[in-house]
Structure 1
Amino acid sequence: MNGQRYTSGAWHVSPGQADDFIARWTEFTTWAHSEAPGARMFLLLRAADAPDEFVSYGAWDSDESVAAWKAQPEFGRYFTRCRELCDEFSGVDYTLASSVNLMVTS
């Protein structure tokens, strides 16, 4: 749906920390999915040719649900645990402009 809210992060993980980062990010987003109203889904993508480079996406109901999530004290704790394993991080919030068949398969 156009206007859907997304959060995104570009994570450059320190060498040798990728497995720990994946585990921490999974804990973070598992908590968010169950405790942050408006959280719809989360994805963590790893660069095929750069195993320490990741991009994350989260889908949300609204701007208010994202703001409420980020305001929770647990957000800071979980985010810090992920960030401390990284050399660089940048985050951006988006709204959906267009989509074609967003079906995800395993």
Structure 2
Amino acid sequence: MAGHYASGVWHVRQGNDEQFVQKWTEFLQWSRENYPSMVVARLLHDKGVPGRYMSYSEWTDESSRDAWKQDPEFRTRFGARVFVHIMGPKGARNSDYLDKNSTATSLA
């Protein structure tokens, strides 16, 4: 493993799961096209809690991961403006992905 991660926990409004997964997938496609140093990314659905998702990505190096987060397009594609109508105010405040110290271990 590369040892550099980003992660997030998402709370999606009832009935918006499909739309959320579509937006997350679009964001992932943009990320992979523009940041080949992303090794892997996954979106996991917590079947025990309706509307709860966890995501993580692994990176070859810290500087690439940080550059991805600092890219203005990151906030445009990933920011609350994109997800608030899907997730609601509580979910849109989720900042795990923006935390440069987030790790995949938070998913355990």
Please indicate the TM-score interval, normalised by the length of the shorter structure.
0.7 to 0.9
Distance in structure 2 (CA, Å) of the matches to 1:61 and 1:83: 30
Alpha-carbon shift at residue 62 of structure 1 (Å): 1.2
Alignment of 1:1-106 (within 5 A): 1=1, 4-80=3-79, 81-86=82-87, 87-88=90-91, 89-91=94-96, 93-94=102-103
Q: Aligned AA for 1:39?
A: M
2 CA distance for matches of 1:95 and 1:50? 19
Q: Which runs of 5+ in 2 are unaligned?
A: none
Percent identity between the two aligned chains: 32
Q: Which has the higher strand share?
A: 1
The count of residues paired between Structure 1 and Structure 2 equals 95
Normalising by the residue count of structure 2, what TM-score does the alignment of the two structures yield?
0.77
Give the CA RMSD over aligned residues: 1.9
Instruction: Determine the C-alpha separation between the residues in 2 that align with 1:70 and 1:95.
Output: 16
83 and 37 in structure 1: CA distance in 2 versus 1, 3 angstrom threshold = farther
| TM-score, structure 1 as length reference | 0.78
Mapped contact 1:8–1:94 kept (Cα < 8 A): yes
The structure with the greater share of residues assigned to helix is: 2
Residue of structure 2 in register with 1:100 after alignment = none
Which SS does the other structure have where 1:11 is aligned?
A: strand
Match of 1:103 in 2: none
Q: How far apart, in 1, do the equivalents of 2:9 and 2:95 lie?
A: 5
The one-letter amino acid of 2:17's match is A
Q: Quick check: which has more Rg, 1 or 2?
A: 1
